Amino acid sequence: MLLNNNVTEFLLLGLTQDPVKKKIAFVFFLPFYLGTLLDNLLIIITVKTSQTLKSSMYFFLLYLSLSDTCLSTSITPRMIVDALLKDNTISFNECMIQVFSAHFFGYLEIFILILTAVDRYMVICKPLHYVSIMNRKVYNVLVAIAWVGACVHSSVQIFLTLSLPFCGPNVIDHYLCDLQPLLKLACADTYVNNLLLVSNSGAISAVSFVMLMFSYVIILHSLRNHSAEGRKKALSTCISHIIVVILFFGPCIFIYTWPATTFPMDKIIVEFYTIGRPLVNPLIYTLRNAEVKNAMRKLWSRN
């Protein structure tokens, strides 16, 4: 329930207030977003239609592309449209939906990255147990748990926001709604909420990143016992995953563990997190994976 809430909409200052720079931002980011949609949808269609990409790794790759697409879509289209408008207002309810969806798909990706690391560990370090443990039913259960976990996380974020009164001002010095700029507008002491934000978002991101990097260190160390060909293939896959993990968690940890202030650098990092990274990820998947490239060639030839 909202407490003494007199704010019905927020004013987003966006990337810049300069009309010329706003038009440049529109021309610059629209192709980026369209490229993100094209790249990730191509990955999704390729994995769904290919008969050779049926392993768990590609099953999780499909959901990584899906979460990237949805995360970018929850933020980028509005930012692009706002670049053409003079007054960039967003209703309170739309703001809450954006907060929920951005955190939902962001943390869905965290859980999928963890599942991908577990899958690689089982394949490389426990190959005899892998076939008996990992199957399509297990994949579906794990992904369902990831969706539920992301929903719980996002619901907590929304509860933290709705528990605060907003009585003015309503200007957000950003191009999106997120918890940190919203907490600065609350008409109450937000120390506890900021603490919960750091522990719920920042701590989860930092701990997950450390766990993932540690797991890949174990995986890479175990490759010394594999054949040269198997080592080369596994190393290529793991390096791709490590790059994706670093690109994801670097901005994420910065955003949710840094003090609640807004600088141009903050917006640049969020731009990379929501626009640049979802565009780059499919390129990392495909350029370092011969099976995905071959499946795409077959799909292209068939069409």
Q: What is the 3-state secondary structure (H, E, C) of 67-90?
A: HHHHHHHCCHHHHHHHCCCCCCEE
What is the per-residue pLDDT for 260?
A: 53
**What are the structure tokens assigned to 11, written together?**
């004013």
Please report, for the chain, the start and end positions of each structural domain, with discontinuous segments joined by +: 9-302
Of 43, 42, 22, 29, residue with least CA distance to 77:
29
Q: What is the pTM of this model?
A: 0.88
d(CA 183, CA 164): 8
What is the per-residue pLDDT for 264?
A: 62
**What are the structure tokens assigned to 207, written together?**
């701990």
Task: Give the mean pLDDT of 248-271.
Answer: 74
Q: What is the dihedral of CA 240, 243, 245, 249, to 10 degrees?
A: -170
Q: 262-295 b/e with 16+ CB inside 10 Å = b?
A: eeeebbebbbbbbbbbbbbbbebbbeebebbeeb
What is the per-residue pLDDT for 262?
A: 52
d(CA 287, CA 109): 21
How does pLDDT run across 229-248, given as a tens digit for each residue? 777 877 878 888 899 999 99
Predicted confidence band of residue 111 (pLDDT cuts 50, 70, 90): very high
Give the helix/strand (H/E) hosting 91: strand 89-91
CATH number of 9-302: 1.20.1070.10
